[in-house]
Structure 1
Amino acid sequence: MKLEVGTLILRVYLGFAFFIHGLAKFQGGVENTAGWFDSMGIPGFAAYIVAIVELAGGLLLIVGLGTRYISGLFFIIMIVATLMVKLSSGFMGNGQGTGFELDLAYAAMSLFFVLYPASNLSLDSKVGKKRRE
């Protein structure tokens, strides 16, 4: 049961963190994020996809629905963010910006949920049981 509670805490935190990041993109104007993406050589429309995945995916992760799929998308987002944006700053940052340590932590948490079976404290486990019956 301790493992179940631990995964619940981790899943809810990760979902909340991504939800807040997605919400911030919408509140700050996704078009601003799209312009920033364009300046880095990433197609601007990707900002809309990332913002929606973070916002909606964060909520889904909190309740534990589609956990593996959402976590897989979060993993991809964090690896791309690390490689395209943060890698040059180093692990801890370069004094002018943050490093990629938090991005890798979120990627590792996301990968955990891709690999770990559905928790009994998630909607995934309830949906999966109904399908199997």
Structure 2
Amino acid sequence: MADKNEMGAVILRVVLGVVFLAHGLDKIQGGVGNTAAWFDSIGLPGFLAYAVVLIETAGGIALILGLATRIVAGLLAVVLAGAIITVQLSAGFLGGYAYDLALLAMAVYLFINGSKLYSADQLLFSGKKESETAVGTM
């Protein structure tokens, strides 16, 4: 039977993946160019929007599948920290950064601990430790 900590990590990984896949697809559906223009309007380089959409969409899929979890979680943590600092902080806690802070905590947990149970990484790299897998996939 799976360890309850590992089962908890699977839940965090899949939920975080679904949330970010939805956010990425929403930006694609609304037009990445529109997101880039909004980035420009708040003083961020517009090209960052393309990176964010890629990280959110591909990263969401990767988390759901359990592929390169630590790497993806680290990238998502950077995106979330950027969102909190540049946009959400000024809106206050409840109306602004509370949601992003919760997602950031999930991403940091997965960055630190990984999530190998029911993961593609476990299937692909079953003979290696997850720390070796993360280094080998960079």
TM-score by length of 1: 0.89
2:103 pairs with 1:101: no
Distance, in Å, in 2 between the alignment partners of 1:69 and 1:88 is 29
Q: Which residue of 1 aligns with 2:135?
A: none
Any conservation in 1 of the 2:27–2:35 contact (CA below 8 Å)?
A: yes
State the alpha-carbon separation in 1 of the partners of residues 115 and 97 from structure 2. 28
The 3 A distance-change label for structure 1 pair 35 and 117 is closer
8 Å CA contact 2:9, 2:115 repeated in 1:
no
- Map Cα deviations across residues 23-57 of structure 1 (whole Å, 9 max, x no partner): 00000001110010001111001101100111111
- Work out which of the residue numbers 35, 38, 41 in structure 2 matches 1:39: 41
Amino acid at match of 1:27: Q
Separation in structure 1 between the aligned mates of residue 125 and residue 117 of structure 2, nearest angstrom = 10
For the aligned residue pairs, the C-alpha RMSD in angstroms reads 1.3
For residues 25 and 74 of structure 2, what CA distance do their matches in structure 1 show?
A: 20
Quick check: 2:6–2:115 contact (8 Å CA) kept in 1? no
Q: Which moved more, 1:3-12 or 1:44-53?
A: 3-12
Point out where structure 1 has 5 or more consecutive residues left out of the alignment. Answer: 94-98
Please state whether the residue corresponding to 2:117 is helix, strand or coil.
coil
Write out per-residue CA displacement over residues 84-129 of structure 1, whole angstroms, 9 at most, x where no aligned residue: 0011111112xxxxx1001011111000011004423212223332
Secondary structure of the corresponding residue to residue 34 of structure 1: helix
Q: Name whichever of 109-118 and 58-67 sits farther off.
A: 109-118
**Which has the higher mean CA deviation after the structures are superposed, 58-67 or 121-130?**
121-130
Residue matched to 1:124: 121
Identity across matched positions, percent: 46
* Shift >4 Å, 4+ stretches: none
Instruction: Please list every run of 5 or more consecutive structure 2 residues that lacks an aligned counterpart in the other structure.
Output: 130-138
1:15 aligned partner:
17
| Number of corresponding residues | 127
Partner of 2:108: 111
CA contact (8 A) 1:118 1:125 kept: no
Does 2:55 correspond to 1:53?
Answer: yes
